[in-house]
Structure formats: structure tokens, C-alpha cells
Structure 1
Amino acid sequence: MSTIRITWRGDAATVHAADNALSEVLDPPADAVSLLKEDSSEADSDTPWTLHAYFEHDPDADAVTEAFAAFGLNIGPGEREVLEDRDWVAHALEGLGIVEAGPFVVYGRHDADKAAALPGHHIQIEANRAFGTGHHPTTAGCLEMLAEVETAAPSRILDLGTGSALLAIAARRLWPHATVLGTDIDEPSVAIGEENAELNGAQGITFRVADGVDESVRREGPFDLVMANILAEPLVDLAPDVAAVTAPGGRILLAGLLDRQEAAVIEAYAAEGFAVTLRGGNVWPILLLERHAERGTLSRM
């Protein structure tokens, strides 16, 4: 069966936003996406990047345009080519290397031997349609930020939009006695998260299909730490619901937004009594916020 590859080129911010659009917004999403840069410059530089997206079937051009528009992108239809009969999706995924972020070493099966020689918390994540292999700046930034708050151990953690469950597993590594709930609106992602948790021996993580902060999530709160590496618009929309399940003095880790969207996200959570205590990233901000203890929240049921 042939594979369709569509290629776009641009600076880091553009191609990483396009990656998110094709992986998270486009329905159905790309089967695989790979990012290449021309030299070793930092990910937030103006170094030319190439984005390859692989599809088993031709994506709807209007759907791709709408997905890009969600990120304010107008980068055209890309360069389309039909590739020879080969498992190009597997080829693209295996090209992903080891990620070292904070105390974490994230790798795929093909890099297991190399990863074994590196110090840190080892997490094996196989690339697939569930977002979160650690290669995107938002995911790597969240892993680094978790290490910054390692000493303040939470007892109840929510990973909202868990995807591959990488952040849930990482939190469990740092806080082995914490109770972790990973939720996602996408049922296949939840199944993948469960598989990854089992693969990594991460006990104590519960997974659930949930549309945002629904009643099933509320029953598990309040949480001392809420992690949400999703998109700016749902982050803003979910601010009151996230506040409702965050304990007084609790923290939230937010990512998936671009720098131009940062002010709106901070404003939405400031209205709910949160203030930024740490910020990471550049083009892709990573925000750690803390809730003022005097603000009300739900009680455990």
C-alpha cells in the first residue's frame, strides 16, 4: 500500500504549530509526523525546519487548512508526493531519538540499548497516534518543569489530556506514593496510555475516558497537581473546571500554547485565583501556576 507524504518548511514556531495541528486537531490525524532541522540550532531559533506528515489516505485539504487556522497558520497545501511501497510510518517513528529532559530519559524500543547507558528516570514510549513522545518542546518542557517542583510532593495528581501518558508516568516516577489519574477525550489514547504505564511498570495510575473535567473526574478531586499539555483554547475554556478540582494551594502545569496565546491563558487562570510561579520555554511557554489557599474549591466526595 502506498503512503502519501506532505511536506512543509518554515521556522521552528511554524512547523511545531503545524505538527500540533496535524496530530491534535486534524481528524483523522496524520499517521506519523517527523520534524527535521538543517543544523543544531536551538528549537526556538529561526533555523529552517522541515515537517513531513505521512498519511495512508489523502487528507481533506479543507480540513488541513482549518486545522492550521486553529493555530493562526496559513502555510499552504504543502508538497505532496506518493511514496514507494514501504512502511514509511514505521520509518518516520523509528527516526525519533532519545530525549533527555530534566531527570528523565525518554526513548523508543529501537534506542533501548543506548538509553540504558544514560542516568535518570527511564521511560519507554513508542511513537504512535497518542501525543507525547517527549520530542515536542511542550512535552520536554513539562518534564523539565516537573523536576523543578519535585521537592513539593503532591498526593493526588490529574493528567488532563494524557495522550501517551508520558507525563502521568513521569509524575509517578517522581512521586511514587501519589495517586495519579490520566484522562483523555480520545478512547484509543487512553488505551495507549494504559499500555505505556504497564510497559514502564508504573503502578497506581488510573486511566479514564473523560470529556474535560466531567463528573467522573470531579469525584476524584481535589488534586494537588493538575497537568494539562493540550491547546490554548481548551486551556482557557477549562479554567473554571480546573479550578474546581484544584486544592487550595495546589499547582497546575499548563502547556500546548504558543507565546502569543500566553497572556490569554494566564488571564483566564488569574480570574480563578492562580498566579504564575515558574515559566519555561520560549516559543512554547510552560507555565506552573499556584492557587491561592484562601480560594474555595470542591471537597472530596
Structure 2
Amino acid sequence: MSRSWKITAFAARPVVEAALVAHEDVIAWDPEMVLSGSEIAEDKPEDWRLEVWLPRKPDRVDKAAVAALFADGAPALTIEELPETDWVTQSQQGLEPIRAGRFHVHTPEHAPLAVAGVRDFVIPASRAFGTGQHATTAGCLAMLTHMKRQGVVVRNLADIGTGTGLLAFAALDLWPQALATASDIDDVCVGVVEENAGLNAVPMGAGSGELVMAVADGMAHPVLQVRGPYDLLIANILAGPLIELAPHFADALVPGGQLLLAGLLETQEQMVRAACRRAGLRLAARLVNGDWSILWLRKRTGVRARSSRPGQLPDWAKHW
């Protein structure tokens, strides 16, 4: 237990959402500064606040880092010292459970669902738990469930930019005999993934039904290369890296392999899809959760692909 501080900025919803997206692209962001964006009240859905928790009194550098997230000038920043508490727990408030597809994801402050046919995952807030990915995480969980019900078979999978490890855990739950690899550019995620794996009884290791963790920038890492090619790649990151990595994803997939992409705004979807088409990847299904697009693509098998509209998700997959 220790003293903690909070920086708050009030702005319109699109401004706060843009700041959250900008934060995901800051390489040198201090991992002790945890962000959250939320509406001020249910009856004011367009009035939002950005909150930043710190385990210390914010200095000039901290305030400048928060202000820099706002492209058109930062709103007024308020700074307050919080009562003596666990600052990580404080930052978790407002992280409501995710219910998507066959999964229920919650922080330790919420109870498991404990319903037959639904897999509960407990994921504590941590340096790798990004609130900006909450909607995209839900979309990926729903899409993975849909892929399984559509008959997709996965023997070898990788989750690129895994963060907490959650999507790799979910994929292993759906395809329990698969080889699984998770990677992230941030080495702090190694400990986070290992801790979360232990909390959720996900075995770490290199064998069937186990998860290997690697620190990697994109696909250029010996572990990712030697364990490929993959039946399924998952990447819930950002539109820019998705566009850049599209040909590398295609190279790492078996013919007919599956690619699940998220972290892109709906306004960025056409650019991402264009990059994927150039790499020989074709859309199988898509869904939109709020402002975020989730895309399921397939690698062409060498036979000329038929032109067809992407499949639509059933109603069960759309409940967030």
C-alpha cells in the first residue's frame, strides 16, 4: 500500500479515444503510468475523461507526456493525490468484465461467471493491460469462437503483440492440442504472461497444448521463425504495424492459414485490408465493436480465390 497520484483530463469522446490510440504508439512510455479512458456518466456518453495513475507525484516530464497524447492541444490537466491504497487496484476500477463468444474475462475484483460452456479467465491489471484494447479484445474473443464453430482446425498458432497473453490463452482453450507461441515487443510482458498463465492454469512450454513466450519486434525473431509456419496468427496491435507486417504474416502462414487482426479503427480498415490483399490474404469475416474493426482473413492456397462477400457473425458472437 502506498500513496498514489492521478492526472485527469476531460474532453469529448473522440479526443480521449485518439489519445488512448496515441499512447499505444509511444515506445518510450513510462510503464508505471497506467491509462484509462471512460465516459463521465451514462447519460453523457460523449463526455469522457482520460485518467492516468502513478505511484508517485507527477513531475513536469509526466505532465508533458500526458499532454503530448492530444494532437490538437491538451485540455486542462488536474492532478490529485489519492488516499493510501494500491494504485494498480485503483487503476482497475471501471475495467468491467468482457463477455464475448465462449469467454468471460474479469479482473480479480469481479467474480467468475461459472457457467457451463463458458471459459473464465482472470487477468489482473498490470503494466501490459491496456484499457484501449478492451473493445478489440472482446471482438477477438468473439471471432475466435466463431472461427472454431466454422470448423477451423489449428495445430500451430501465434499471438503477436500478446500483452497479457489472453488471446493466446483463449486460442489454446479452443484448440487445446495446438502448439502456441506468444510474443511482444515489451520484455515486461514475459513476467505478465507467465503470471497470468499460472492464474489460469495455462501450461508454459514448447509442447502440444503449451505456450512459449518470446520478446520480438514483429515476426523477425528466431523463435517465431523456427516454430512456423502457422495455421493461425493473431495480432491485436495498431493499424500501422498491421499494414507493415501484412506480407510477413502471409509468409508465416501455411496455405489456407488464418489471420485475425484487431487494434485498427473502422476508418483505418480499408488501408489494412488493401495491404492484406497485396500479400495474398482475403477477408473471411469482419465485425465492428464501437469504432474498432476486427478482421478474419485467410491466406490464398495458390488456386485463384473466388470473389465472395465475407461471412457475417451469428448473434451470439456480438454480445460484448
User: Which band: TM-score by shorter chain?
Assistant: 0.7 to 0.9
- Superposed counterparts of 1:53-132, under 5 Å: 53-55=52-54, 56=56, 57-58=58-59, 59-68=61-70, 73-74=71-72, 76-87=74-85, 88-112=87-111, 115-116=113-114, 120-131=118-129
Partner secondary structure for residue 27 of structure 1: coil
Q: Does 1:200 align with 2:188?
A: no
Look up the match of 2:39: 37
Partner Cα distance (1:101, 1:115) in 2? 12
Query: Among 207, 232, 250, which residue is 2:239 paired with?
Result: 232
Aligned in 2, Cα 1:78/1:285: closer, same or farther, shift over 3 Å? farther
Partner secondary structure for residue 162 of structure 2: coil
Preserved contact between residue 99 and residue 135 of structure 1 (Cα < 8 Å): no
Deviation at 1:75, TM superposition (A): 5.0
Q: Does 1:255 align with 2:254?
A: no
- Superposed counterparts of 1:280-295, under 5 Å: 280-281=287-288, 282-294=290-302
Partner Cα distance (1:23, 1:265) in 2? 18
Look up the match of 2:308: none
Deviation at 1:213, TM superposition (A): 0.6
Partner Cα distance (1:95, 1:222) in 2? 39
CA deviations over 1:121-162 (Å, ceiling 9, x no partner): 111100111135797111111111111101312111110001
Preserved contact between residue 16 and residue 136 of structure 1 (Cα < 8 Å): no
The number of equivalent residue pairs is 287
Look up the match of 1:3: 4
Partner Cα distance (2:166, 2:236) in 1? 11
CA RMSD of aligned residues (A): 2.6
Aligned in 2, Cα 1:157/1:131: closer, same or farther, shift over 3 Å? same
For structure 1, which segment, 181-190 or 210-219, has the greater mean C-alpha deviation from structure 2 after superposition? Answer: 210-219
Q: Quick check: which one's strand share is greater?
A: 2
Deviation at 1:11, TM superposition (A): 4.5
Aligned in 2, Cα 1:145/1:121: closer, same or farther, shift over 3 Å? same
Partner secondary structure for residue 177 of structure 2: coil
Look up the match of 1:27: 29
Preserved contact between residue 88 and residue 126 of structure 2 (Cα < 8 Å): no
CA deviations over 1:27-58 (Å, ceiling 9, x no partner): 114632233324558xxx96322221112333
Partner Cα distance (1:180, 1:190) in 2? 15
Q: Structure 2 counterpart of 1:264, which letter?
A: M
TM-score (norm 2): 0.80
Uncovered stretches (5+) of structure 1, i.e. residues with no partner: 296-301
Partner secondary structure for residue 104 of structure 2: strand
Partner secondary structure for residue 249 of structure 1: strand
Uncovered stretches (5+) of structure 2, i.e. residues with no partner: 204-209, 304-320
Partner Cα distance (2:196, 2:80) in 1? 32
